[in-house]
Amino acid sequence: MSEFFSIDFAISILPRLLYAAGVTVQLTLTSFAIAMVVGLPLALGRLSSFKIVSSAAGAFIEFVRGTPMLVQLFLVFFGLPKLGLSLQPVTAGVLTLSVHYGCYIAEVYRGNLQAINPTQREAAWSLSLSPFDTFKSVLIPQTIPPMIPILGTYLIGMFKDAALLASISVFELLTTAKLIGTESFRYTEPMTIAGLLFLFMSLAAAGLTRLLERQWTNR
């Protein structure tokens, strides 16, 4: 058993993997926050009364949702330099994660906005609220609570998809685990610890989602 999995070796590499896990958390949370922002204008674009705007937003969302994120990551990191725009690996990774998941979140925004009874808009306007105030104070507060479980699912997915950034040499958790394996010719320990850390991050995200659900429900 000691040859298959060395406890001493696992303990010795744990600090490096914990640091890399912290990088993964930072990348994921940053990307998730940006995706939340990116998704809103895309959703409003889909709902626009201007056909060209709604068609362009819809085409972009379907393109991003219909192609693998790894392909998008390569297009951003290797393709944009051909157009004169070179990005650092971390920047390219965050950009790709944000836009990819932002398109999924856009559809969640759109569905929940469409589910709100139109009479609520009319009531807000009858109270002399501007369209912006109506959107900010009436529509968005009703849109967010039903989104929480779905957003939690996307957050968990982002933690796992952050491992794809290893393909462009971002030193997140999976990249570090592979590097340790290459250096030591022992892959069982780093990959096992990496898998457990990914599991812990996913469980933490699920727990946070349930906590937010309870808080919104009790309001």
Under 8 Å between Cβ of 46 and 109: no
pLDDT tens by residue, 155-168: 999 988 988 888 88
Q: State the pLDDT confidence band at 1, using cuts at 50, 70 and 90.
A: very low
2 part of a folded domain:
no
Ranges 116-130, 143-157, 185-199: which has the least confidence:
116-130
The pair of structure tokens assigned to 156 is: 């968990």
123 to each of 36, 49, 118, 131, 136, how far by Cα in Å?
28, 21, 9, 12, 14
Q: What is the extent of the structural domain holding 75?
A: 7-217
Residue 76 CB neighbours (<10 A): 19
Distance, in Å, from the CA atom of 184 to the CA atom of 96, rounded to the nearest integer, reads 32
- Asked whether residue 1 is assigned to any structural domain, the reply reads no
Average pLDDT over residues 84-97: 92
Phi-psi region of 146 (alpha: psi -120 to 50; beta: other; left: phi over 0): alpha
Task: Please say whether the dihedral angle defined by the alpha carbons of residues 169, 170, 171 and 176, taken in this order, is positive or negative.
Answer: negative
Residue 193: other Cβ atoms inside 10 A:
21
The enclosing domain of 167 has a CATH number of 1.10.3720.10
Number of structural domains in the chain = 1
- The predicted-structure confidence for 12-61, as pLDDT tens digits, reads as follows 999 999 999 999 999 999 999 999 999 999 999 998 889 999 999 999 99
pTM, full prediction: 0.84
Q: Tell me if 20 is assigned to some domain.
A: yes
pLDDT band per the 50, 70, 90 thresholds, residue 128: low
